[in-house]
A and B are shown apart, each in its own frame.
Chain A
């Protein structure tokens, strides 16, 4: 395996692994805080049990996310030393702040996990909220650093030198807001759908129905609100990318030829040699509208971009289709859910609704991975867009392929163990968390 490809694969693997744990670690505390709040307010013990059950999951995901994040902070240098040598001081600001945010998150998590019956109840609840807020802030900061790679700012690039560094400007680059918004909403939607899906499945299996129903309600509300907001945030992102990174947008859409009234291409198989897309559905003018808010606007195609600066078209296009497709499905499920709540209460008892949610369990995370692929592969061949090529940043050390194999093995085993632990946690709900059953028996 080529060293450069190995380094890219290892980075993609590490980020792809970390992103799931990071999302869960930053979103679940909010679910817990809601359940915890209801318990403190109503004294209904099911909610305390839900909070405790979820907190076990959070501890597992948080720890795995923390170590995979530690690994990433080293990997940036291990795999891309040239990049870090120049970029480190410029886009380091969000990382320094993230250090603080993450530290606070770890401290608050210590209070929360070990603080049952030790502290004032509301202080204990508050530490849970701090876990969520600082996790969210960490996420925003890290995405701001990534946004800088897409939209470099805060320095002058003169004759290969990086002069007049301004870390604050670099942090508030043009892409930070749209990317951070899209990622945060995605984290809520994906985690929400995953959690709601698992609880839906348990309800379908008629196991501890009261417990799972209440847990389902909380997670479903987060999931569906996020899924309904996500298309709006996606629109902001698309317009932003169209303005700043026309090559990425062209690759996402497999838009080879610059034209006015550009058509939106759904699906299809891009042929990079012939510069066309086979078997696609085309909606005339729609791409112009989505990118520039005007059906007649001109959309830059790959033909305006020098060949050596083209991102891989097929991968970016497929990933984009997957993300948008799954996003749409989740949005439709959400619409259905609100129709159910407001107009058709009886559907809540129907199995097909729960089945829909159960099927949607992995959708959010698949969409997150696809979206991450779009933004990373779509930026290629650049590591700092328009400034430094990824190939020039890679470590001179040969044999990265072996490191990639080792990390692949480690991450696959970890995923298996985490899945196994989660399965065990869920199957032990009756014994460990759901006290309502005992109460009923006792009566």
Chain B
């Protein structure tokens, strides 16, 4: 049953990265759009993500619940030492979620819209940036559970070049996901080309940021290259991701939404796999060589078993409904009132 829970944990993180990421990306694309085109970006985006956007963020809650029910020690340790980036991310989530709804449900469309937009755009960039920082901090070996002073315990645990570059990389990935996703949501050729250009831009930035991540990992003594390229599965995953890039590019150029979506999801999946499989079951690497492991630090058996059942039964309800929701708004155009 432990492995059922671990699969769900991994899937929830992946889905949050893909769906939540595309959602953040919508704001990031808006951020990198010139003022004249923002209106268009916003309209298309709202149509595309409006109905599903609440659901996208549920994956984060599922992740957190799995952690605190199944692996409480890991949840508690991260909560203590990554308090500051977690709080920053939460503030981003609050600002973004509320600004998105406010701008759509303000009965009067006036200058307040500018404020909502600004909050939405900035928090869309900040939130995934801190998400990246948090993810990087779990493996950067800077979380020091023996530290007594404020700086080493609560600041240097997450603030270093490696996590900052991973943060930037995450922002680019989210932007790419959004641009790639929206291509399939718009009927106008002009819009499609516009978003394809954005997506390409984001891929280029992501590759550059990826290179920066590797450089930073050398500087910060994070053996990232060893993790990714040290064994066959990692090399295979990265090779598959790299080889699929030209096809992705082709899909973008020719506006093939299906190719873009499938390959985009595949890329993310491979990257997540390549960076996590080597330390499995260790999920957090601590300073001084210690680690927190999904196996050693699992909760008591009964908690794990009931969590697994709750997840399995929950999926029976959630997945068909979610699938139908996405299908409906993809296929069904509104009837005339």
What is the bound-complex CA distance between A129 and B52, given in angstroms?
18
Distance of B297 from chain A, by nearest CB (Å): 10
Query: Chain B interface: which of A83-91, A277-285, A378-386?
Result: A83-91
The dominant DSSP class at the A interface is: helix
Task: Pick the contact of B55: A75, A86, A106, A395 (CB < 8 A).
Answer: A106
A119 touches B328 (CB 8 A): yes
**Which residues of A from 94 to 112 have beta carbons under 8 Å from B?**
95-97, 99-100, 102-104, 106-111
Instruction: Check if A398 is an interface residue, CB within 8 A of chain B.
Output: yes
Q: Complex Cα distance A439/B80, Å?
A: 61
Task: Tell me, yes or no, whether A59 is within 8 Å of chain B by CB.
Answer: yes
Q: In the complex, A70 Cα to B61 Cα: how many Å?
A: 6
Which of B26-34, B90-98, B212-220, B266-274 contacts its partner? Answer: B90-98
Query: Could you say which residues of chain B place their CB within 8 Å of the CB of A107?
Result: 54-55, 318, 321-322, 325
Task: Determine if B65 and A70 form an interchain contact, defined as CB atoms under 8 angstroms apart.
Answer: no
Question: Chain B residues near A69 (CB, 8 Å)?
Answer: 61
| Contact B310 A110, beta carbon cutoff 8 Å | no
**A6 sits at the interface (CB 8 A):** no
Across the two chains, which residue of chain B brings its CB closest to A73?
B64
Residues of chain A within 8 A of B62, CB atoms compared: 99, 103
B87 to chain A, nearest CB (A): 6
Asked if B238 CB lies within 8 Å of chain A CBs, one says no
Query: When the two chains form the complex, which single residue of B64, B98, B107, B314 contacts A424, counting CB atoms closer than 8 Å?
Result: B107
Q: Assess whether B322 is in contact with A90, with CB atoms less than 8 Å apart.
A: no
Please tell me the number of chain A residues within 8 Å of chain B, measured between CB atoms.
70
Bound Cα distance A109, B54 (Å): 9
Question: Could you say which residues of chain B place their CB within 8 Å of the CB of A95?
Answer: 65, 68-69
Distance, CA A226 to CA B337, complexed state (A): 36
Known contacts: A60-B102, A78-B79, A117-B337. The answer to whether A397 contacts B303 by CB under 8 A is no
**Do B150 and A66 have beta carbons less than 8 Å apart?**
no
CA distance A117 to B332 in the complex (A): 10
A88 touches B299 (CB 8 A): yes
Give the residue name and chain of the A residue nearest to B116 (CB).
A417
Residue from A59, A70, A76 within 8 A of B57 (CB atoms):
A70
Q: Is the CB of B107 within 8 A of A89?
A: no
Stretch at the interface among B70-78, B199-207, B225-233: B70-78
- Within 8 Å CB of A97, what residues of B? 310, 314
- When distances are taken between beta carbons in the complex, the residues of chain A under 8 Å from B300 are 89, 165
User: Given the known A-B contacts A78-B83, A78-B87, A119-B328, are A84 and B318 also in contact in the complex, defined by CB atoms under 8 Å?
Assistant: no
Shortest CB distance A71–B (Å): 5
Across the interface, B302 reaches (CB within 8 A) one of A74, A81, A165, namely A165
- Contact mask A106-127 → B, CB, 8 Å, 1/0? 1111110111111100000000
Q: Are B317 and A110 in contact (CB under 8 A)?
A: no
Taken together as a complex, chains A and B put the C-alpha atoms of A396 and B95 apart, in Å, by 27
0/1 interface trace, chain B 300-337, chain A, CB 8 Å (1 if under): 10111011001101100110011001001100111111
B86 within 8 A of A: yes
Per the 8 Å Cβ criterion, residues 389-443 of A in contact with B are 395-399, 403, 406, 410, 414, 417, 421, 424-425, 427-428, 432
Expressed in whole angstroms, the Cα–Cα distance for A403 and B86 within the complex equals 11
Given contacts A63-B98, A107-B322, A432-B107, contact A100 B317 (CB under 8 A): yes
Rounded to whole Å, the gap between the CB of A413 and the closest CB of chain B is 10
Asked whether A110 lies within 8 Å of B76 as measured between CB atoms, the reply is no
Residue with the greatest number of chain A CB neighbours at <10 A, chosen from B54, B57, B64, B77: B54
Which chain A residue has the least Cβ–Cβ distance from B87? A403
A305 interface residue (CB < 8 Å to B): no
> B58: CB under 8 A from chain A?
yes
Question: In the bound complex, how far is the Cα of B61 from the Cα of A73, in angstroms?
Answer: 7
Q: Kindly state the separation between the CA atoms of A90 and B300 in the bound complex, as whole angstroms.
A: 9
Q: Is the CB of A92 within 8 A of B69?
A: yes
B51 at the interface (CB under 8 A from A): yes
CA distance A410 to B90 in the complex (A): 11
The 26 sampled A-B contact pairs (Cβ below 8 Å) are A63-B54, A66-B57, A67-B94, A70-B61, A71-B90, A71-B93, A74-B86, A84-B72, A85-B72, A92-B303, A99-B58, A100-B314, A103-B58, A104-B318, A110-B50, A110-B325, A111-B51, A116-B337, A117-B335, A165-B300, A397-B83, A406-B91, A421-B107, A424-B106, A428-B107, A432-B107
Give 5 closest A-B pairs by Cβ, nearest first: A92-B69, A77-B79, A100-B314, A89-B303, A89-B299
A-B contact sample (14 more), CB < 8 A, given A84-B68, A104-B321: A67-B93, A71-B90, A71-B94, A86-B72, A89-B69, A90-B303, A92-B69, A99-B58, A99-B314, A100-B317, A107-B55, A110-B51, A395-B79, A432-B107
